[in-house]
Structure 1
């Protein structure tokens, strides 16, 4: 432990701290750079793959368009249209006319490479060209004939010929232009599958290292490909865009679907191609981090020595001061920071000496204050004893009404003058008793002009409430209500459950002259700025009550609500939650 404590110096802390920070910085920068560059390399590889797929799809569309154009020309040839019209009208085509058809069709075959043959069928599936007796439904399934019918003259690609593995079939529904495009027969084209090779020989050599490409028909049969291995095409289609494992090597499978034929172009790219350069980047980052760490290690050692040497010299000078009383020291250093530290220490010594004197004086003042506080506790006690003496003196003389007023005043003072150890929360019942004592005193002053009514249920009376919230409202009702009218007036205090669950509503109503709307708005405005005292200047005012409500209950209360009409009195109400108080 002592060995560890001897090593726990400021110099070592600075050295280790700087090293930890530098390691974190270098590691963070290295990881961030590695991650970002890796993502960039992968994105570039994926863009290249997608671009290759788009180019292959464009080439396929061009090949398909060439065949579509050629077959459309054959289907709309005037001689073919005339002879098929004759066939539709019930006049069978003769052998010589079939030879004429063959001559017309042969005129178009030199314009497109890859066409092995063109076959022509009637509406009842009889073959017109070439000169054999094979029916259409024996060549392809009824489903494909139905697709050709639904295509309405559009070239429909069947896919691989089930009889000839190197032939691709497409069918076009022939329609008569002069007969409102009525059905006249079918044109079938047989294509050599080498016609659909999507890569050139130079590209194929390059793709041996990078991507492989294949063209698959709707049934999942390979039309053309440069795949070096037999692959499960169904799983390739399902795993498009994901990394697949082929012979313990990872490949990225990307596919592009042709909307014209529903064929798919599948491109397999080795995953290592997408991550080329990442290993070199990783090595460069590791070397950079190691070199940077070594340089920082040396520089940190030198810097920590330069920082701590003056501080060690200052510590030696300060140890002299701790042996005796606090005295300023005289240490002169070359650096501004160390000189500032010396000056700060000397100022601290002076401040500590002053604080010692201040604390001594405060202890004397505190003792005197405690004596005055003990004396102040005697004053309320003397006041209550004096009121008690008044009460007994009036009771002996038969002044029952005056004695009751004195009792009410004594209770009023006891309630208002709280001891420091008493809680400022009371029950609504305590508040109502305090308000009633105040009403009794005011009744003696107003003689027969004041009457009051207090209505509250037992459950509501037990609700906790801050002290002195109801009595100021009663005082306001008397001062601005009852006293401002000619004749007797009434003050009502009603406590009842609120319409909001868990709340209690308290209303103080007077039968005074009331207020118009402008006066009520002015009253609300004065409550907002926190100033509203009674006209006579002897009340705490409703602004005080409103402010205390919001301080105690915060968002659980809306504050005071005032309802008043000119000539019909005023009601001031507020709502408080039932579960609150000093225990919450």
Structure 2
């Protein structure tokens, strides 16, 4: 099963979460901004075609005003209502000049003429369309004369005779009614100029603006439109008008496009615009780049912050892992510090408590092991009949006294006291004086082996009643003989001294033996320091420096035990440090 680090998982999941959030927010922002931009663009286009429509209406209004000025002129009314059969040429020219003058200020006008059934046409005409053509258009549209009386009616031609587009306007002259023959004011506007105005309007890339007449025919456009597109645009605008909608999105040759319009109440025409939706949001490409680069920068900082965050979380865990490895290797002197993360602190506290409990359990197990060895020793001791041993040694003593060998008898008594103290009643602690009496007896017997042995024992009377672990000095003295004095040919010296230092008792055992070289001395000190890994090195309890050191530390605590100082060929000094405790018996 493939595993990954906690840091890697946190980094990946944190990054994916923020990337997902950033992506969702980016899409929402992009969609909202796109909708806003699209609505702004739609409003702009709608306002543009509305202004275009108003411009056309303004042009038509100006022409209508010119015609109204002409037909309402008192002089023209007087001339054209004469009863003569013919109108003098001078008057005809004057009427035509007045009509032309009224229309000169409008550059779109190609023709403005008055028609009187009695006197004919007056005005000017620069187009190919004649009165007969206009009458024909009126007849094709089936416009009643009554409609023409109220205002000028505007019409468009699909194609003029001179390949130009025209806008036609006509209205009756009310006072020229005679035998159902009506007088007309007829105007012709240059559609080419209006079409040029359409081409000058920019509503966006791929956009088309066009003019549709009341019959649904597209007569002017800013660019060429295919016949099928004309039908589609016409049908869609008619539908929007009937449904009272101002715009819609529809498909034009597979392209989603916007269509909108503005209706003219004056002419009844509609100015429409069609634009691909993609052009409405072309400015979104810039916003899209900003969002993309923002996400790129955000990804960088997300990955960076994810790495930092995961490191802060996993750093104490990795430290805990290293500490557990040290515990696994046998080092129980570890302690995890507190951090700023509550959960990690809880784990660290549990870990520290576990190590502390483990240390206590190890001490307890080792103590049990020592007690088991002590029990073995007691079992061995129990096999010897103390009274038989004491009585036998007492018999030896009196026999030697009777034979005038009292000195040897004292040695026998010393040996008896040693056995009595060692086998004893099983107590673990004794008075310091009793421990020193045992040492005096031991040294007396050692003098039998070493003829040139010089001994010195000193016990401060102030502390002779203090409690002390039994048999912790004799193994050190024995070790001095075994490893120091036995290998020396010259006179041997050994001194045992007990004194009080502050709140402690210090027992010093000094010899002038062969000493210990620096390498072995450092190794022995190191073993005493690593008390958690010490083992019993002798077969029976109490035999050996390490065992004495361990007993002291188990009984009194880790601040007590043995200290060893030595130089080769100069001797060795062992200090036993224990707390001062008055005897409680």
TM bin, normalised by shorter chain, reads 0.3 to 0.5
Larger Rg: 2
Structure 2 length-normalised TM = 0.46
Structure 1 length-normalised TM = 0.47
